[in-house]
Chains A and B, each alone.
Chain A
Amino acid sequence: DAGITQSPRHKVTETGTPVTLRCHQTENHRYMYWYRQDPGHGLRLIHYSYGVKDTDKGEVSDGYSVSRSKTEDFLLTLESATSSQTSVYFCATGTSGENEQFFGPGTRLTVL
Chain B
Amino acid sequence: GENVEQHPSTLSVQEGDSAVIKCTYSDSASNYFPWYKQELGKGPQLIIDIRSNVGEKKDQRIAVTLNKTAKHFSLHITETQPEDSAVYFCAASRGDSSYKLIFGSGTRLLVRP
Given contacts A42-B104, A45-B100, A48-B100, A100 and B42 within 8 Å (CB-CB): no
Of B12-20, B43-51, B61-69, B71-79, the one touching chain A: B43-51
Residues in B with CB closer than 8 Å to A90 are: 43-44
Closest chain-A Cβ to B81's Cβ sits at a distance in Å of: 22
Interface size class of B (residues with CB under 8 A): 20 to 34
Q: How far is the CA of A4 from the CA of B45 in the complex (A)?
A: 12
Q: Is A100's CB under 8 angstroms from B43's CB?
A: no
A31-48 contacts to B, CB under 8 A, are 31, 33, 40-45, 48
Q: How far is the CA of A80 from the CA of B78 in the complex (A)?
A: 47
Q: Is A101's CB under 8 angstroms from B101's CB?
A: yes
For chain A, the count of residues having a C-beta within 8 Å of the partner chain is 26
Residues in B with CB closer than 8 Å to A59 are: 1
Q: Is B46's CB under 8 angstroms from A101's CB?
A: yes
Q: How far is the CA of A4 from the CA of B103 in the complex (A)?
A: 20
Q: Is A58's CB under 8 angstroms from B43's CB?
A: no
Q: Is A100's CB under 8 angstroms from B89's CB?
A: no
Residues in A with CB closer than 8 Å to B49 are: 99-100
Q: How far is the CA of A21 from the CA of B50 in the complex (A)?
A: 32
Q: How far is the CA of A96 from the CA of B4 in the complex (A)?
A: 23
Q: Is A43's CB under 8 angstroms from B89's CB?
A: yes
Q: Is A43's CB under 8 angstroms from B34's CB?
A: no
Selected A-B contacts with CB under 8 Å, 25 pairs:
A40-B105, A42-B104, A43-B89, A43-B91, A44-B103, A45-B101, A50-B99, A94-B99, A97-B99, A99-B32, A99-B34, A99-B49, A99-B98, A99-B99, A100-B34, A101-B34, A101-B46, A103-B36, A103-B43, A103-B44, A103-B45, A104-B43, A105-B43, A106-B41, A106-B42
Query: Chain A interface (Cβ within 8 Å of chain B)?
Result: 1, 4, 31, 33, 40-45, 48, 50, 58-59, 90, 94, 96-97, 99-106
The 6 A-B pairs of least Cβ separation, nearest first, read A103-B43, A42-B103, A99-B32, A43-B103, A42-B105, A103-B44
